[in-house]
């Protein structure tokens, strides 16, 4: 089970995260629910669940983040009401679609190559900047984000970044 943490502009990687995302693609629904319940009870920041609106609701999480091949944002909004709904995207077209469907934020990447997603093609910092300029909702960078690259993400217009290994 991976905990993806996101941080906002101005925060150092070692600083406190602003959101925790439970990402457990190989875990059972029950195990993910129990882990999420424990995190919701103990976390000082909102907890969201990757790709599982049902678990987010059952565990009392703040929302869900949906991969771009997951259910439509509008369908998730019907289930989730006013809870946070994010969409992970890999292109400007998909980012715009997520915004138009009512996503609260997008996670764009991978910006750089990432050991968490081997085989994924890096989009690059220019693509991140293009997406950030085009959207009205927050854009978070993901993929290969390191302490040294945080400022570059913010300079490109990202509202923050999401990472796994950076926070371990």
Flag whether pLDDT at 110 surpasses 70: yes
DSSP H helices, 24-85, are 29-42, 53-59, 73-80
CATH of domain 2-167: 3.20.20.70
pLDDT for 16 equals 52
Flag whether pLDDT at 86 surpasses 80: yes
Domain boundaries, the chain: 2-167
Mean pLDDT of the chain: 88
CA distances from 145 to 97, 152, 154 (A): 24, 10, 11
In the three-class reduction of DSSP (H, G, I as helix; E, B as strand; rest coil), residue 48 is classed as strand
CA 128 to chain centre: 14
Residue 50 CB partners (closer than 8 Å, separation 6+): 4, 21, 22, 23, 24, 25, 64, 65, 66, 67
Closest CA to 147 of 163, 134, 158, 131: 163
Mean pLDDT lowest among 7-21, 75-89, 118-132, 136-150:
7-21
Flag whether pLDDT at 155 surpasses 90: yes
pTM of the model: 0.88
Mean pLDDT on 34-39:
93
Distance CA 53, CA 76 (A): 7
State what percent of residues in the chain have pLDDT above 70. Answer: 89
Contact 168, 1 (CB under 8 A): no
CA distances from 139 to 27, 31, 64, 168 (A): 28, 30, 16, 22
Contact 5, 19 (CB under 8 A): yes
pLDDT for 18 equals 83
Over residues 88-106, the pLDDT tens digits come to: 999 999 999 999 999 999 9
Closest CA to 149 of 107, 113, 104: 113
pLDDT for 13 equals 41
Contact 103, 137 (CB under 8 A): yes
Mean pLDDT on 78-85:
96
């Amino acid at each position: 089970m991976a905990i993806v943490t996101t941080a906002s502009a101005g925060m150092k990687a070692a600083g406190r995260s602003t959101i925790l995302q439970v990402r457990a693609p190989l875990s059972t629904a029950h195990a993910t629910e129990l882990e999420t319940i424990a995190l919701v009870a103990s976390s000082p920041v909102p907890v969201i669940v990757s790709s599982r609106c049902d678990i987010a609701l059952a565990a009392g999480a703040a929302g869900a983040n949906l991969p771009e091949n997951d259910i439509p944002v509008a369908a998730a909004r019907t289930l989730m009401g006013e809870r946070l709904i994010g969409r992970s995207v890999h292109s400007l077209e998909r980012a715009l679609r997520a915004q138009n469907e009512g996503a609260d934020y997008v996670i764009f990447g991978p910006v750089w190559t990432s050991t968490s997603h081997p085989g994924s093609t890096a989009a690059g910092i220019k693509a991140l900047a293009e997406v950030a300029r085009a959207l009205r909702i927050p854009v978070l960078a993901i993929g290969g984000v390191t302490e040294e690259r945080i400022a570059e993400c913010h300079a490109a217009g990202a509202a923050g970044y999401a990472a796994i290994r950076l926070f371990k």
